[in-house]
Structure formats: structure tokens, C-alpha cells
Structure 1
Amino acid sequence: MSPDRWSRVKEIFDSIADEPASRHMALVHAACDGDLALEAEVLRLLGAVPALSDFLEAGASNLFGELLEQPSSSPAFVVGAVLARRFEIRSYINRGGMGEVYEAWDSQLNQAVALKTILPHISANPAVIERFKQEVRLAREVSHPNICRVHELFCEEPAEGPPIWFLSMELLRGTTLLAHIREHGPLLRTAAEHLAVAMLSGLQAAHTRGLVHRDFKSGNVMLLDMPGSPVRAVITDFGLAIMNSPGVTNGSDLIARGTPGYMSPEQKRGEVVGPAADQYAFGVVLWEMMTGQTPPATGNLSIDSRNIAYPKTWLRVIQRCTAPAPDDRFPDMAAVRSSLLPAPVRTRMIWVEAAAILLAAGLGLLLWKRHARVPPVACVICNTVQITPDVDKSETPSLSQDGRFVAYSSDRAEPGNLDIFVQKLPSGPVIRLTRDGARDTVPSISPDGSQVAFRSERDGGGIYLASTQAPEQSPRLLIRGGRDPKFSPDGKSLLYWTGDPDSSTPSGRAFLLPLAGGAPQLVAAQFQDARYPVWNSNGRAILLTGCLAPGLLPDCLDWWIASASTGTVAPTHAFFSLRAKNFLPGRLNSLEWRGNQLVYSSMNTSGRLNLAEISLPPSDPHAIGQPRWLLPSDSGELDPSISGGGSIAFTRITGALHIWKMDGLLEKKQLSLEKVTEDPEVDGQPFVAEGGRYLVFTRGRSAQRVVVLRDLQSGQERVVWNQGLSAQSPIVDRDGVWLAFQQAEPTGRSAVYAGRIGTSMKRICEDCSAPFGWFAHDHMFFFRSGLKALSLADPRTGQQQPVLSETEAMLGDASWSAATSNLVLVASSPARKRIEVVHLNSIDLHPQRSVFMPEEPGTPLHPRWYGNGTGIVYTSNRDGFMCLYRRRFDVAKQRFGEPIVAAHIHNQRASIDEVLPRVLNLSTDGDSLFLNLGEQSSTIQVGTLAQVH
């Protein structure tokens, strides 16, 4: 079929597809003007697209004639099938123009999702798949209650037949605005006002992120019934979205041009399309809601104002939105909203919109009271209510002493950027306290709710103090470099710590700061490492995570109890006891100590974080009780905060950790990004072998991590080490034959093992760690032989050779360049971390000279050679986020070049910041970099904790 012929078929199809099926025959016959072949082609296409699937039709499927191939009559997947090792098919929903739609259970996100397949004859075109990948990346940039959330694009390879590509996205149960108008006619003004606000908010959020829908229409707006609350309107199918950049035109795009009747004149002409095109379509939808009619393809939106119960303001807004020239329309959606709703109505609708958002998240005054009236049941955490939307990333809650206020960090205002918010419970307004572009998190609210201390990454990082009474005032810096602040129960002091968040390096120092004035007081001054201090609710005891004597972290860490008045410190030996019971903490900074009960986040039997509780009396550090789980949920729970009255707030997370690949290290532009692994388990610590064929990494959770080898040429994976323990830091040689790795022993100590894959492994040493590279291809490998030493070991014999040692600084996080005989590593002292290059003699490997990388703002970490030792790539939080940077290295002059941004990773929904240090690694080969990115969304939950002592 020629492009002109397809264009005619598509034009007729789009003008009729939204009409009732009973009218299709007559309308097609009239439109085709006697062309029987054309009539047959349009009817065939209409038969493949049921009207009820309108809201799931993605514009990216409308390619030249591709849809005219008859789809298979039988579903591609059967109920019970598991796709991509994470999606269990629950039901078949329907078939649309691009493929089939299913409801599935996502074991990784722990929620029901919609899966939309792409017909094989469409996905066979590589350009189509690249376009879908681009659209998924763009759609994930927008997170808003009025926009359907898109998760990811996957590929399933059946035993027989071609690969099946599919999208996972938010599952919406409801009807379209188009279907509602057809069934009920024009909308009442109040209902139309509510829906208009919702649609404008969603479109404005997309436009702010630089996205244009290009196929906005009433058939792409879902209406979800929320019992006892306003209907939630959700815009679906940003399938035609493109970045709003000059020079991007419809004519140059693979995708068809939208739906006649809703398309702006410039879109019909194939010209540059921007937010003004969505505004035009919005004006058409307003017309539909007012008149109850289907818009004509001609664009002539006539209205008899005598029969319309709407103010003339709406008529003027529609006329301006649908002006032929984009410059004659409103400047943006915010201006449309201001003109559409008079000031008193806007105020009322803002409150209605806020209530709709809260109720969509599961919280409203009536709902809260309904939970409060439920009689006590056999539960530990009861009456749990979600107070933030699923579409946001909200975490680290902190309750005031009376339980009336909760502070938390969230990206609800700017997707991907964490700020501090305070919310009055049960259903008060949400107050935004910070507006900085840097990452603000871990708030601690004062007992009376008047102040919030928090960690911010702005200006190098530190603890800031904000007033809830005057949120317009800028927060003030309290402690530069401070982390994890905790108000004392009387509000007069603040606990915090300083040091490296990487717990493999002993650098933590805990402090108590009198807020009335005075110098910070060091807690547990004699400790090698002390971090994450928290108060007991009596205000007299402090629990900290620390290591008294020098040892290899995190193996020597334990909980210690310190007296706030005398400074004496006593061990609990809790980690030894909890390790034997498989209740070790999963997040060391996720705990709350009230009375005799310690609530913390541990790893449950399903491998997910969950809240646990043990008895820990402040007066008797050794009286550790039997641990128990507090929630039956299989979701991830952490960050507990408990009020004096027994209310508890915590974070519930859904997320994943995968291996990603970035290409372009040798180029000056920012790196491209591609996901390598899709397993529902946690994939961490990637290492790419010399030559770039083999990738080795760990897979699993907490105490059970296996080693997986992936052939990057074939894509095949296999487990090469599985002893039921926690393997870490694997490295493989260039031929995929020799393996070395660190393993946590049953005693809790670390050891390094090595050997030929497929045979038993030799234990090289104990109290050593972190293999990081091969010398002479496979002859020997480098590893960390102590806190301040690096060595080589022969995997065949186990023979070891010291390479480098220091008396002051701790050494680690290293990378080896065989081309230049240079080591690059991180040298850590209590005061700072520095990246150092050490040249080794190529014969005896003795160090000859060294040079430090010039100091820069932030903390540089994870340096890795690329380009045969002519440059390093590393992470740094110099701009408040953990991003990637690179520097050239002049081998002859032993000198670093200036830092260059390799990739900004500011969106906290897929970031380095979300990766725990013990599973993070960077690895390079040639032009490519492999690393972890943590993908996460989270909500704040509030409930009642029973039996608080």
C-alpha cells in the first residue's frame, strides 16, 4: 500500500473509529464514495480495533499500512504465564490496534499492571522498537495523578515464533470520557470544571517536562470511580509524545499524525508541533463536554449558546484554544486554566483537586475516621492508611511527638527531585518546605512540629533547619557535612553523624548538638566508626551503629548503647544474635527506639525489606528479645517513625536494581543509556571482562547472592556460583574461565575465593575483600588485603603478593590499567577522600610514583580507567546528585585534565543514589561503562502500632 493510499485509509478510519460499531458500515460507505476496495480496507481495520479499546490505542502503532495485516485470533499469552520472570498473566482484557492488552501481576513492583503487546509485524521493524524505547523514556519523565504511568518496554522470546514486545503500565479500571459523553450527553458544569482542572494539570505537567501528547482527545482520558470522592481523570497514551524541540515535525516522524477532529491545523499540515497543539485538542474536548457531540473532522466547532448552561467565558476559551494560528492561542495551560475558571471557582477547584489527589492515594477525612472506628483486631500495625500518591516517590517520614504532623521527602512537586514536605494528619494541607534543585531528604520534625531538620546535598551537603510556621523562609545551614539528623524527645538537642555513607570505609563520627548553643559533642569518641545515632524515647539513651576496634567494615558493625549524660558506651551484641535468626538489619539507618522496643527494617523470607521489632531495654543492652515481623505485606517497608501516642509512619517501596550500560566514554557528548538486565531479583556489582564479551555480577537479596555470568554477544546467562551465602565483587577474566569474588562466611567474616568456573573454588584469604581486576589477563588478580593494603593473588595456587600499603589512609575502590601499569584508587582518611593514581613497575609491581586528582566540590568515588588508561570516569555528588564525570589523564606528564560531565543522573526514580554502596560498582571496557541504577517509587503509610512500651 502506498503512503498516499494509507493516508486516505487512516483519515477515514480516524474519523469513524470512535463512532458506535453499528454505524461503521454506513459511515464508511458514505466516506469512500464508491471506492469498494478502499471501503474494504477501512472496514478491515475497524474490525481490528474495538471501540472499548480506544483508551489503550497507542499512536506509535499507526505506521504506514502495518495495522492492515490481520492479527491472530488467539491471544499470545495464556492466563498463568510468566513473562520476563516477573509478570504473571491474570486475564486477557481485549485486542487493540497495536496488539493485545492483559492484566498481569508484577512481582517486582508488587502490584497489578497492564501489559500492551506490539503486533509482531509491527515490532519486526527495528525503527519502531527504537521509537517505542524513546517514548517510554519520555513518558517516564512525567509523574502526575492525572497521567497514566508508563513503566517499561520488554521483549519476550517464546519457544516458537517471533519475539513479542510489550509495554507495562499503570492498570486503569474505568471508562473513557468519550464513552461517558456518548452515554450521558453533555456534562454538568460542576463535573466539567473538575475534569477540566484535572486534564489541564496533567497536560501542564507534561509540557513542563518538555513533552507534547499530539493525540489528546476524550477517548484518551480515563475516568476512574473513587467511592466517596471525586472522579479521577487520567490522560493515557502519550504514544505520540515527542520532546518539544525546534525542528521536530510530524512529517519527519515515523508516527502518524493523530486523530482528525482533534488535530490542530499545523499538525494536519505536518509542521512543527508544540504544546499549542495539545491546547487545540483540549479546546475540542471542552466543546465535547459542553455539547455532548462528536467533533467534526472539519474542525468547525459551532455552539448555540442559547442551549448551553455554561458561562460565555467557556466559549471564549474554546475559540482561543482552537485558533488556527498557534501564536493566537494561550501561552500555556496555566493561562487556559486562569481564563476558564473565575478566581472564586479556581480557589474552590484547587481544594477539590487536592482532595481528589489525597483520596486517590487512599486518604480523606471520612476514610481516616472510618479506619479509626474499626474495633481492635489481632494486628501489630493496624489501620494503615496511605497518605501520598502511588505516582510519587515519597520516603523517610518523621512524626511529631503528638502524631499530628508528619514530615517526609518527596518528588510530588517536581518528579525526580526530592524536597521536604510537612502534612497535618489526618487530612490537612501539604506544605512544601524546600525548593532547591538538590536532593533534600531524611527529615526530622521537632516534637512540637514547628521545625524540621533534614539532610540536603546543596553546596556540598549538610544538615539544614526549616520552619513549618514560615515555609516561605529559606532553610538555614546547621551542620556542614552532617547526616541523618534526629531531634531529641525534648527538642533541645540534635543527633547526627558525619563521614562517608559507604559503610565499607570506617569514617563515621557521631555527634550531639545542643540547639541552645555550644559546640557539638562527640559520641563514642573511641570508636573506629560510629554512625546512624538515634534517641530512645526517654531522652537519656542513644543507640548507634558502630565498630569499636579496627576491622573490615561492615563485618565488625554492631548496635551500641551510649548514655547521653555520661558518654559511657555498652555493646548489645545484637548483630550476632540477629544473624543467627536471619533478622539482620537491611538498612542500617532505618530504625526507631521507643521504650523497650526497637523497630527496624530487615529482610524477610521473600527477600524484601519489612519492619521487624525486638525488645531492647535501654538499661540492659544484652536483653535482646525474640525478633518478630510487624507486617504481613510482601512489599518493602522501611524508615519507621513512632509518635508518643503510638502512631507509626513508614515508607513502602517498590523498585528494582538492574545493570545498565552507557556508551560514548570516548566522545565529548553525554553518555547514552541502555538497560542490560531485567530480572526481578537485585542485580548488582557488575564487572565487564577485558575485551567486552563477558559480564559478571551478583543476583539476589541480603544474605543470598549468587554470581551470574552473561555472554554479551549471545545474551545468555548462567549461575556460576551459588552456595546459599552472600557473594560480592565478582570479577571474570577475558575468556570467561577464571572467577574471583568475595563471600560472607557463616561466621560473618569476609573471605576471597577464586578458581576455574565449573570447579570448586579456593579460599584465598580471610578478612580480605573486593577483587577488582586481573593482571596479565588471568595470571593474577588484585584484591583488598586489609583496610590499608592491596595485593595480588594467583587463582591457581592461592599465592599472594603485596602491592601497595599505607599507614594513614585506607585504600580501596580501585581500578587497574594494564596498558599503562597504573592503579587508580580512592585513598580515604577521616577528613576526606581523594582519588590517587599509582604507577607500578611493570616487572616487580612495586609502586614508583603517585599523583592525586585535584580536589573538587563534592565527594569523588568509584574511579575507573577507560580508553587504555588515558582517562577515568567516576561518580561525584558535586551538584547535589550522584552523577557521572570523566577526566582525561596525561600518562606521560602524570596529570589530570578538567572534569567533564559524562551523564547527569538527577531523576531519583532511576539513580545511583538509590543503590546501596555494598552492591554498587562501575566497570568499563573500551567505550562502554556498566553500572547499577536503582529504580524506585515509594509511598508514606500511617497506622497505629500496638503494644508500644
Structure 2
Amino acid sequence: MVGVEGTTVGGYIIERQLGKGGMGTVYSARHPRLPRVDAVKILSEERSGDPHFRARFLREAEVAARLQHPNLVAVRDRGEQDGRLWIAMQYVEGVDVGVLITRGPAVLDVARAVHILTEAARGLDELHRAGLLHRDVKPANLLVAAQPGGPDRVLVTDFGIARAADDSTTLAGAGGIAATLAYAAPEQISGAAVDRRADVYALGATLYHMLAGTIPFPRNSPGSAMYAHLHEPPPRPSARNPRVPKAFDAVIARAMAKRPSDRYDSCGALAEAAAAALNGDRSPRRAWRGVLAAAAFALVLVLLGAGWIVSARETPSVAGPHLPVADSVDPAQWGAYAYMVEALPELLPAFPFGTGYQDLAVCYPLATTADTISLDASAPVGHLFCLGDRDPAESVEVYCNADRSPMGPNRSFAKVEGDQSWTRRSGSGHVFWGSDLYSGTGTFLDGKTWGVLEVYFNDPARNFCRVRVIGAGPTGTILRDRWWADAPL
């Protein structure tokens, strides 16, 4: 079987799985002749079987393989085996920016965010000069390797959906919106023509996330997030994080302008503006504060020890999805809903604007009326709504009885395609999958049939909760295969 430990792919000897996502699975692999370990991504069967995607992938890989830049993960080889496309890339030791964001401002301060932005911009501008667009710039696709005694080394990765800049096909075509919604430019969402300024927008959204600790438009549904990208003004990072100089508000406003012509013309121009906003706020008092912050950061590095191993992939970390450590959950930030996150610590983010399994994003509590409520407002049945990465989960919802009474299986959707009991090291339970027609919701779900998967638990530590996942297709089978199979439950 392709990808099993000890098998070979294109001559590479597979060692272990590093990460998995909608595009495929990434493994560490020994080079057949050189004393070197590379990262080999084996694309999913669905992707490999799409003739349009195959042609695009092979074309992009050839262009990317010719790129040599210190801020781009090197593409070293590509091919096909047993009907599956694969690509070999440089193996990078470190963490991605998504991981740094979850560690908070003590690790990712404003100065470090600007440095990461600047290095990433150099790589993206090189990609653009080569005639490619990235189209999925986000924190999880920026790798950071700390260098003792020097600045962070930053590399842009995951060109799995990159296309030639002169390709007139838009992301609203047969392939759908491939970019991660939280950072997608308005023209990507609407299906208009896309150029390098879509990457500028996404890089600006990524900068906002680094500065504010949350995605630019946290909403209760992908539909409302799309509306925000299309119509609502860019958010102000200083309003979310008082440590951010107000000059960054104007930087984000221009980078995330609705019209491409109103944005910075290049990622480098955005980085220059961010550096100016940072340097313009360097009063003597702030300079001393920066020295103290640097010392604190050095101490944090010592305490944290070695970072995770990451490489080019579409998952939040190539070592696996974002799996918050159980004791990293901050009950104070979750308020009345802390008991839900403590019951499912590897699925949900450690704090509300963090990231969880398969890039699960910002989670909010909902009332029975589907309106957002305060985290301090308790309810007999807690309901957390989280945005998925749309590949394959549109959204993930968790329901828990506050009195911890068992929540028995009742599969709350129309059509069941399958159900089974499950047993894992973590416990046991039951899982259903199928589809449901949504009507009268007033959201993007209205009038459409969506795939649904629900998970129930037997053990008392979790049997008062259920997990409901809505998928990007009309059946629940894709959720069973690509979400449930590796779900940390």
C-alpha cells in the first residue's frame, strides 16, 4: 500500500506519517541515495483521480522545482505511483505560525510578527516573479525554524493549490474555493479573476491573526464569513489587542481592501508598511519594553524545549493536526463552557480564538435561537459552534449537558447512510453519518443538502456530549473517511 512504513514511493523509503489533510498525507522519507530525509506528500485518491487537478499539479510542481529561495520550501521531485500523485519537498524542523499564535503574545509579539511577515513576503514575491500564485496563504503554511543566536528562519510552504498567474480559471470553477475561507480574498470567494493581490490580502489577514490572536472575521457560519470578506470593513488589530500600535490599523485596512487595486501592489510593499508602523512606535519606553520582551521570549524558548517537526503540508502542523495538550486549556477564557473543552481537549482549541483539529477555527457559544451569547452565559445544554476548514468539514458543533447527564445516541439528521460502534484507546461510543436538508436557517446552509456526521461517547468523562460535523458535500461518507478516521476522540 502506498505510504505504509517501509514501502517506497519514487525511490523514497517511507518512515512515518507526519500529517494528514484534505489534499493528502505527508510522510518523512529517506532519500534513496543521499543521507537525507525529505517530506513526501502523497495526494488523496480523489485529487489524483481528477484529470484537471492532475494536469495543474504536474505543471505547478515543475515550475516550483526550479525555484531556489531561502524563504520557500524546496520542491525536489514529483511523480506518480499506483495511480497516486506524490511530491517530495524539503524537510523543515520547527513549527508553523498557527502553532505560535496558540502560544500567545508572550511568544509571538508584534516585532516577531513583523519579522515573520517580512520573510514570508520575500518568498511570496519570488513565487509571483516565477509566474505562480500561492492562493492559500495562512498561518499554517508559514513554517518557522528558530535559529540559536539569530532571527527566525521563515519558509512558505504548501503550493498544492498554486496555479500559474496567467491561468484564467478562477477558484469558483470546477475545483470550488480552494483557499482557506478565514483568509480568502473577496475575488476568490466571488469567483472573479485572481492575481498576486489575492495573496497580499491573505498575507494581510495572516498578519491580523498574528497581531490580534484571532482570525479577521470570526463568524458563526462560513456563509456569514464570506459575507464579511465581501462587504464588511477590515477589522482594527489595535481594537482587539491594545499592545498593537494603532498605525497597524491602516496597514491592515489597505492590505485587506475589498478592491485589489486599493491594496499594496506586492507582499513586499505590505511588509515595508508593517515595518514602518512598528518602527514609528519605538519610543524609548517601548524600546526598553522590547528588550524585556526579548528576554522573556528567550526564557520561553528554554522552557518550551524542542519544537515539533514540520514540513510542507496543508495540515496545521506536519507532526499532526493542532492537538492542544489537555492541561493547556484555559478555563478562565472559556467561562461557563470550560467543561466542554476539558472533555474534548484534543478536538477543540485551547482557547476560543485558537485552532483545533484539522484547522478548526474560532469557536463561539450559541443560544437555542442560534444567536451568539457570552461565554459567561451558562445553559442547560452547552452549544459551541466552530468553523471548519471546508476540507472536508464546513463546521463542527459540540453539545454537552451541563449537569453531565448522559446524552444517548439519537442521530439528529434526516438520512442515515451508516452507523457503527467504535472503540479506540480513548474510549468507545457510536458514530452515525448521512445527510440532512437545511431549510429556514437564514444562512448559506438554507435549501441545500449537506453531509452530516455525529459522534457519541460511552465513557462517563464524555458521555454527556455529542459532536456534530457538517461536511462540504451532500453525503456524510467523506466525513467518515477524511474527518472521523483521524479525529482525536
CA 1:148 to 1:253, structure 2 compared with 1: closer, same or farther past 3 Å? farther
Kindly state the Cα deviation for residue 280 of structure 1 after the two structures are TM-superposed.
0.6
Contiguous gaps of at least 5 residues in structure 2:
218-224, 283-489
Which of 71, 82, 92 pairs up with 2:17?
92
Distance 2:52 2:62 in 1: 15
Kindly state the Cα deviation for residue 240 of structure 1 after the two structures are TM-superposed.
2.0
* 2:8 alignment partner AA: V
* 2:15 alignment partner AA: R
Distance 2:182 2:277 in 1: 31
Kindly state the Cα deviation for residue 79 of structure 1 after the two structures are TM-superposed.
2.7
Aligned 8 A contact 2:197 2:263 in 1: yes
Which residues in structure 2 correspond to 1:448-467 (within 5 Å)?
Answer: none
**SS of the residue 1:261 aligns to:** helix
Which residues in structure 2 correspond to 1:560-639 (within 5 Å)?
Answer: none
Distance 1:193 1:172 in 2: 21
* 2:235 alignment partner AA: S
Aligned 8 A contact 1:240 1:255 in 2: no
Distance 1:304 1:248 in 2: 34
How many equivalent residue pairs? Answer: 267
**SS of the residue 2:149 aligns to:** coil
Aligned 8 A contact 2:42 2:84 in 1: yes
TM-score, normalised to structure 1, is 0.27
1:77 aligns with 2:17: no
**SS of the residue 1:172 aligns to:** strand
Distance 2:158 2:130 in 1: 16
CA 1:94 to 1:338, structure 2 compared with 1: closer, same or farther past 3 Å? closer
Aligned 8 A contact 1:89 1:105 in 2: yes
1:310 aligns with 2:235: no
**Identity between Structure 1 and Structure 2 (%):** 30
Which of 164, 171, 175 pairs up with 2:84?
164
Equivalent residue, structure 2, for 1:333: 267
Aligned 8 A contact 1:257 1:268 in 2: no
CA 1:156 to 1:196, structure 2 compared with 1: closer, same or farther past 3 Å? same
- 1:869-893: CA deviation from partner (whole Å, max 9, x where unpaired): xxxxxxxxxxxxxxxxxxxxxxxxx
Equivalent residue, structure 2, for 1:262: 183
Say which structure is richer in strand. 1
Equivalent residue, structure 2, for 1:534: none
Distance 2:199 2:237 in 1: 25
- 1:463-502: CA deviation from partner (whole Å, max 9, x where unpaired): xxxxxxxxxxxxxxxxxxxxxxxxxxxxxxxxxxxxxxxx
- 1:876-920: CA deviation from partner (whole Å, max 9, x where unpaired): xxxxxxxxxxxxxxxxxxxxxxxxxxxxxxxxxxxxxxxxxxxxx
**SS of the residue 1:184 aligns to:** coil
CA 1:255 to 1:166, structure 2 compared with 1: closer, same or farther past 3 Å? farther
Aligned 8 A contact 2:177 2:189 in 1: no
Which of 96, 108, 123 pairs up with 1:176?
96
1:138 aligns with 2:66: no
After superposition, the CA RMSD in angstroms is: 2.6
Aligned 8 A contact 2:205 2:215 in 1: no
* 1:258 alignment partner AA: A
Distance 1:325 1:308 in 2: 28
Kindly state the Cα deviation for residue 345 of structure 1 after the two structures are TM-superposed.
5.2
Equivalent residue, structure 1, for 2:80: 155
Distance 1:263 1:122 in 2: 21
* 1:156 alignment partner AA: Q
Kindly state the Cα deviation for residue 111 of structure 1 after the two structures are TM-superposed.
1.8
Equivalent residue, structure 2, for 1:206: 127
Distance 1:239 1:122 in 2: 11
Kindly state the Cα deviation for residue 125 of structure 1 after the two structures are TM-superposed.
3.0
Kindly state the Cα deviation for residue 254 of structure 1 after the two structures are TM-superposed.
3.4
1:273 aligns with 2:199: no
Which residues in structure 2 correspond to 1:650-665 (within 5 Å)?
Answer: none
Equivalent residue, structure 2, for 1:127: 52
Distance 1:180 1:197 in 2: 16
Distance 1:232 1:330 in 2: 24
* 2:269 alignment partner AA: A
- 1:651-703: CA deviation from partner (whole Å, max 9, x where unpaired): xxxxxxxxxxxxxxxxxxxxxxxxxxxxxxxxxxxxxxxxxxxxxxxxxxxxx
- 1:508-545: CA deviation from partner (whole Å, max 9, x where unpaired): xxxxxxxxxxxxxxxxxxxxxxxxxxxxxxxxxxxxxx
Distance 1:231 1:197 in 2: 11
Kindly state the Cα deviation for residue 201 of structure 1 after the two structures are TM-superposed.
0.9
Aligned 8 A contact 1:198 1:233 in 2: yes
Distance 1:273 1:331 in 2: 13
**SS of the residue 2:181 aligns to:** coil
Kindly state the Cα deviation for residue 179 of structure 1 after the two structures are TM-superposed.
2.0
Which residues in structure 2 correspond to 1:838-849 (within 5 Å)?
Answer: none
Kindly state the Cα deviation for residue 206 of structure 1 after the two structures are TM-superposed.
1.1
* 1:294 alignment partner AA: I
1:291 aligns with 2:212: yes
Kindly state the Cα deviation for residue 340 of structure 1 after the two structures are TM-superposed.
2.1
Distance 2:269 2:179 in 1: 24
CA 1:89 to 1:247, structure 2 compared with 1: closer, same or farther past 3 Å? closer
Which has the larger Rg? 1
Distance 2:189 2:3 in 1: 38
Kindly state the Cα deviation for residue 214 of structure 1 after the two structures are TM-superposed.
0.8
Equivalent residue, structure 1, for 2:118: 197
Say which structure is richer in helix. 2
Higher relative contact order (CA 8 A, sep 6+): 2
- 1:580-621: CA deviation from partner (whole Å, max 9, x where unpaired): xxxxxxxxxxxxxxxxxxxxxxxxxxxxxxxxxxxxxxxxxx
Contiguous gaps of at least 5 residues in structure 1:
1-74, 158-162, 349-949
Distance 2:16 2:174 in 1: 34
Kindly state the Cα deviation for residue 92 of structure 1 after the two structures are TM-superposed.
2.3
Aligned 8 A contact 2:177 2:188 in 1: no
* 1:196 alignment partner AA: L
Kindly state the Cα deviation for residue 343 of structure 1 after the two structures are TM-superposed.
10
Equivalent residue, structure 2, for 1:249: 170
CA 1:142 to 1:284, structure 2 compared with 1: closer, same or farther past 3 Å? same
* 2:152 alignment partner AA: V
Aligned 8 A contact 1:176 1:221 in 2: yes
Aligned 8 A contact 2:3 2:42 in 1: no
Kindly state the Cα deviation for residue 188 of structure 1 after the two structures are TM-superposed.
1.2
**SS of the residue 2:166 aligns to:** coil
Kindly state the Cα deviation for residue 271 of structure 1 after the two structures are TM-superposed.
0.9
TM-score, normalised to structure 2, is 0.50
* 1:144 alignment partner AA: H
* 2:26 alignment partner AA: V
